[in-house]
Amino acid sequence: MLDSVDIATRVEEILAAHAGTEGALLPILHSIQESFGYVPEEALPQIAQNQNISKAEAYGVMTFYHDFRSKPAGTHVLKLCRAESCQTMGAEGLATHAKEKLGLDWHETTPDGKITLEPIFCLGLCACGPAALVDGKVVGRVTPEKLDQIVKGMR
């Protein structure tokens, strides 16, 4: 686990790398999440000062977007598409299966910290649904059996 000094140093590097970028806040937040796996709350005043905005504004932006996490996710992140095209191919049933299998609801992480289950709205794989994003890799035509295999690989 990083201590606050490490966080401050790394955040400073990220802020420096984005100097001069027009409307830099989203790229900064993406970089921070890439570095830490989440956006540490203690980074927000530092970002706010750098971007010449209030801490409330920085917090407001960070929490507006579904992608940014305020705490780390599990080791593996399983995102299941919930959008209409995938629904027509059984995404709802697949989601129920995944929730039961993992004992999780959306946005929850298994107690061992290994798997986080999240909904996602459209991966553009609408002609080969139901679709999933498994640790950033796309998977199409996910059946309950295929999902079990994916989960097995994560455990």
- Binding residues for other proteins, per CB under 8 A? 22-27, 29-30, 51, 60-61, 64-68, 83-89, 120-129, 131, 133, 136-141
* Cβ closest to other proteins, residue 31 vs residue 109: 31
CA distance 33 to 25: 12
* Nearer to other proteins among residue 137 and residue 152 (C-beta): 137
Nearest CA-CA partner of 142 in 89, 77, 75, 83: 89
CB closer to other proteins out of 107 and 155: 107
Q: Which is nearer to other proteins, 75 or 87 (CB)?
A: 87
Shortest CB 26 distance to other proteins, Å: 6
- Least distance from C-beta 2 to other proteins, angstroms? 22
Minimum CB separation of residue 30 from other proteins in Å reads: 6
Least distance in Å: CB of 59 to other proteins?
10
Query: Quick one: DSSP state of residue 2?
Result: -
Whether 41 and 7 have beta carbons less than 8 Å apart is answered as no
Closest distance to other proteins from the beta carbon of 4 (Å): 24
φ, ψ for residue 84, nearest 5 deg: -55, -45
Q: List phi, psi (to 5°) of 51.
A: -90, 0
Of residues 79 and 97, the one with the C-beta less far from other proteins: 79
How large is the C-alpha radius of gyration of the chain? 18
Q: Which two tokens stand for residue 11?
A: 């955040």
Burial class (CB in 10 A: 0-12, 13-18, 19+), 20: exposed
